Structure 1
């Protein structure tokens, strides 16, 4: 009876947590289609057609920032994780700890300094500059995840590849990357979720309205009457922003879970 009671406890707890986390999404979906006369898509129509609503360029800006952030994070974290996980060099542990130390710095406190730095580099008010900032603050988690993923791969695979004549780069591309695919999916998914839904960094680093991301466009959605907020259209914007995240998470859920557990047991 004990195992069955334990299973029921897991089911009840899991159901309660699912309801707790899903309720805001369900409520937002319900509010986004509710109108004064019933239900319909009028709120979505105002979201995309009003003068200060979400324009195609805003969505395109978000896609560009997300693509640059995901690509840059995967490239940098893969090389960094491979170096930390497979090579021995002076100062390796100190450098790794310094990378993790970025987590201790609330990025909101240094955004102004980063804005000035981007100005020196000629990247102020640019999607590339915003992407570089987002990549920087993705690196601690991403490098940590990729290092664990590489360390979980048996050393014998790498040694066999080198015996067959593979260089370090060839081993990384042909042997290691397929073996750490769950870790890559996890890092890429986190980078996308962060960059797609980020609000504070674009608010500080972007000045031109034509450079605004979707999050800024949704927040700026207001009616012309005394600056009041069109909450129904905002709920439609929330749903629009959440759909890509939900679809990607559902499609990559298995690899995402495996990525978190890949470094738990080495070898």
Structure 2
């Protein structure tokens, strides 16, 4: 559209400018109508908005600010504050959880083993480890496993620390995991050593993470030997149980070898694998 300011005075110039405006508006109207007719449908919301913008440009400066409200961030999912110890599937199912990773040696080997047996697991990640090995975190997600927040420093005495400290440990780790994964959902929070408090469970739940416990603890973190780990796991297993294992925190060769024996044994016993209740 031509501005009147800066044009020569006179009837001819005024008529020419008016004619230009009229032709422009008529062309826009005909074009919109033709497009609607060609598509066989009535012009929708987008066409109406486009027409309104043409009118606004004719009546107001192009730099007029928009009054559109910014999109609100999504609220965290509502989850229970109670500690989850059982599978979502129930019945003759178990849930495998793996703590303290990711680890550059044992996490890839464990992922390969899980893929071999078509099993999905939950990986409880230490924040700085996730930050250090983002490719492994992304692989965990890409292969269909779930993520769990296992704090920043794995402080098993967290239940004796301030609420502010607990919040920093939980949410600090979640930020690291979020960044490493590219924003994949973190379904759970597991307190180091099971050091939950009402405050830590509340903080986790308010940020969409169900507190995650376990039923079966074969003590692999104590390095008792592969045979002992397998025996303890078989003695403790029950329907719907969450199993606690480790793929990080040091040399996990015993844990890996135990899983090589335990996973096919569980399948032969008729157990399926499910995620924990979230």
Fold similarity call, TM over 0.5: no
- Higher helix fraction (1 or 2): 1
The TM-score range, normalised by the shorter chain, is under 0.3
Considering Cα pairs closer than 8 Å and 6+ residues apart, tell me whether 1 or 2 has the greater RCO. 1
Higher alpha-carbon Rg? 2
What TM-score do you get using the length of structure 2 for normalisation? Answer: 0.19
